[in-house]
Chain A
């Protein structure tokens, strides 16, 4: 599945929920929804979704997307509450639009990557990921502590115990680590963290797999599995 197809499958879900409230919704529901905190207009969401698809499929730039979305918002008569003008709650701001664009494109790419990385051949060669910093951030989250807490929470199931942030791709740590409750990148907003494939021989060397143990090949659920008709 291509990243843009992941976005296409999401249903625009307008609501007055803020981001904290959205985080209380089950991950399985959020994964299938295209939403943005406190956006109650389906039309606005449809335009945002179309632009995210255009970026993933056709390489439309973030600058063009922001320009076009601002034009659309103006046309729709969008006006934020006066107290929120110019802040991240104002849909017209670069900060807000960039969060929408980046989070959705990164999630689509993350999901598509996980699908390919867990195919039989890929898992047999690279059964695990190493959680690594890829891009610097001015304010970096304490991922080492978050990792340790997540590892304890899942009782180290599929998690390396040698101090490295390595876990099998099938380990429940990934969902637990994620702010979004999903087992794929990104694991938080604009985190700068990424994944590095870890080969099977190294997994055996650090005891993540037994000497002759083969990794399990997961069956990722169909995108709409579990949905009631």
Chain B
């Protein structure tokens, strides 16, 4: 998903080469966005299932890109899930259920990659189920709950994923003045 921040025309009349000033504004907003996402990464709590950190926001910071087109600067974070976290929403499975790794042995590994036998435990009337390891040759995982099965997942809105519009405009303006100085 792409979440775009559009900056339309900085407040002040540009004194120098307009393309160069637009590049400066773009650089200022990108720097702000990267630092904002890295700060968010620093603030994330450990995974509640004891899985290794995925460094989600820090990885997202590497995907900040920009484009200058005349008087328009577009800065975007082209990273899966960013828009969903920002706006909130519900994730539905493509097949029968969402599978969330809850065992470090399958951290970052989707069931389609896992490739070994598992069986489903889903008591009647319960909202969630489990995928349990069933490969007799896999001592570390046989009998262990590997994935939590969910019919859907509600992701709450989190506007702190991105800086505020005011911060963005200030960053663009400050970068232009740095370039002009």
Given A63-B112, A64-B110, A109-B62, A201-B27 contact (CB < 8 Å): no
Partner of A199, one of B22, B34, B78, B178: B178
Partner of B19, one of A121, A135, A136, A196: A121
Interface centre among B1, B23, B80, B176, by most chain A C-beta atoms within 10 angstroms, is B23
Partner of B21, one of A63, A121, A197: A121
By a CB distance below 8 angstroms, the chain A residues around B53 are: 136
Q: A67 and B110: CB pair below 8 A?
A: yes
Partner of B55, one of A66, A120, A122, A135: A135
A186 and chain B: residue at smallest CB distance:
B62
Partner of A200, one of B62, B78, B178: B178
By a CB distance below 8 angstroms, the chain B residues around A125 are: 24, 27-28, 175-176, 178-179
Cα of A63 to Cα of B20 in the assembled complex, Å: 41
Partner of A62, one of B17, B35, B66, B108: B108
Per-position binary interface string of chain B over residues 23-62, scored 1 when its CB falls under 8 Å from any chain A CB and 0 otherwise: 1111110110011001001000000000001010010011
B176 and chain A: residue at smallest CB distance:
A125
Cα of A61 to Cα of B94 in the assembled complex, Å: 15
The count of chain B contact residues (Cβ–Cβ below 8 Å) is 42
Q: A126 and B23: CB pair below 8 A?
A: no
Within B122-181, the residues touching A (CB, 8 Å) are 174-176, 178-181
**A216 at interface by CB-CB < 8 Å:** no
Given A2-B65, A200-B178, A122-B112 contact (CB < 8 Å): no
Cα of A179 to Cα of B143 in the assembled complex, Å: 43
Cα of A170 to Cα of B177 in the assembled complex, Å: 21
Cα of A61 to Cα of B110 in the assembled complex, Å: 9
Min C-beta distance of B143 to chain A, whole Å: 22
By a CB distance below 8 angstroms, the chain B residues around A122 are: 23-24, 26-27
**B109 at interface by CB-CB < 8 Å:** yes
**B6 at interface by CB-CB < 8 Å:** no
Cα of A2 to Cα of B30 in the assembled complex, Å: 15
Q: B24 and A124: CB pair below 8 A?
A: yes
**B116 at interface by CB-CB < 8 Å:** no
Q: B24 and A197: CB pair below 8 A?
A: no
Q: A197 and B27: CB pair below 8 A?
A: yes
Cα of A67 to Cα of B1 in the assembled complex, Å: 22
Q: B19 and A106: CB pair below 8 A?
A: no
By a CB distance below 8 angstroms, the chain A residues around B61 are: 134, 194
Per-position binary interface string of chain A over residues 50-67, scored 1 when its CB falls under 8 Å from any chain B CB and 0 otherwise: 000000000101111011
Min C-beta distance of B93 to chain A, whole Å: 15
A62 and chain B: residue at smallest CB distance:
B108
By a CB distance below 8 angstroms, the chain A residues around B58 are: 134-135, 194
**B72 at interface by CB-CB < 8 Å:** no
**A43 at interface by CB-CB < 8 Å:** no
**B113 at interface by CB-CB < 8 Å:** yes
Q: B21 and A134: CB pair below 8 A?
A: no
A102 and chain B: residue at smallest CB distance:
B59
By a CB distance below 8 angstroms, the chain B residues around A31 are: none
By a CB distance below 8 angstroms, the chain A residues around B175 are: 125-126, 199
A65 and chain B: residue at smallest CB distance:
B113
Interface centre among B19, B31, B61, B176, by most chain A C-beta atoms within 10 angstroms, is B31
What are the 7 closest A-B residue pairs judged by CB atoms, nearest first? A121-B23, A122-B27, A121-B24, A124-B179, A67-B113, A63-B110, A197-B31
Q: Chain A: residues with CB nearer than 8 A to chain B? A: 2, 59, 61-64, 66-67, 70, 94, 106, 109, 112-113, 116-117, 119-122, 124-126, 134-136, 194, 196-197, 199-201
What are 9 pairs between A and B in contact, CB < 8 Å? Answer: A59-B1, A59-B78, A59-B80, A113-B62, A120-B19, A122-B24, A122-B27, A126-B27, A134-B61
